[in-house]
Amino acid sequence: MFELISYERFRDTPAVRFFDVTIGSSNARDLVIHSGPAISPPNDLKTGDWQFYLHPHQEDNLLAASGGRTFYLVNLSWDQPFHIVRLAAGGDILRIPPGTFHRSISDLDGSVVLNQAVRDQGASLTREFRVYNSGRIPALKFATSLGASRPVLHGVEPLLQAA
């Protein structure tokens, strides 16, 4: 299943903190910048259906460097397939295993996220960044619908209470 990984603060100087956020097995780095409340991937323009990424040969290790982002994770092989995870600057690293549908929505002011990915040898960016439309995948649509069991929330509860 997904994992939240803590990291270590190793030095402080006046008004400066240093953290070791190394993912030892990482062999690729992505810096993803959302300007404002971006949705990635965006909803289907015609139907409004949610869309997701799924990396068959890549593990994501995501760290919010600024702002915050809420991730929607669906893995049909998990006991509870739908999770909503809040990732905020200064929080844990979110590890998303290969084969997990995921999408994210940034805070109103946007976010910057560093991904220390682990890609299998021969992984192709074209295959890894395909977009999957939930309207075309019945099991995915059901897992995220009101008819399914409620999603498991991680760090999102205060946001829902404030709404």
DSSP states of 79-129? SS-EEEEEEETTSPEEEE-TT-EEEEEEEEEEEEEEEEEEE-TT--HHHHT
- H/E segment holding residue 141: helix 138-143
Q: What is the pLDDT of residues 42-96, one digit of tens each?
A: 999 999 999 999 999 999 999 999 999 999 999 999 999 999 999 999 899 999 9
**Beta 82-88 vs 8-13: how paired, if at all?**
unpaired
Does residue 115 surpass a pLDDT of 70?
yes
Taking the mean position of all CA atoms in its chain, how far away is CA 128?
14
In this structure, are residues 86 and 154 in contact, taking their beta carbons and an 8 Å threshold? yes
- pTM listed for this prediction: 0.88
In the chain, what are the domains? 3-162 (2.60.120.10)
Share of residues in the chain with pLDDT > 70 (%)? 96
User: Distance between CA 56 and CA 44 in Å, rounded?
Assistant: 22
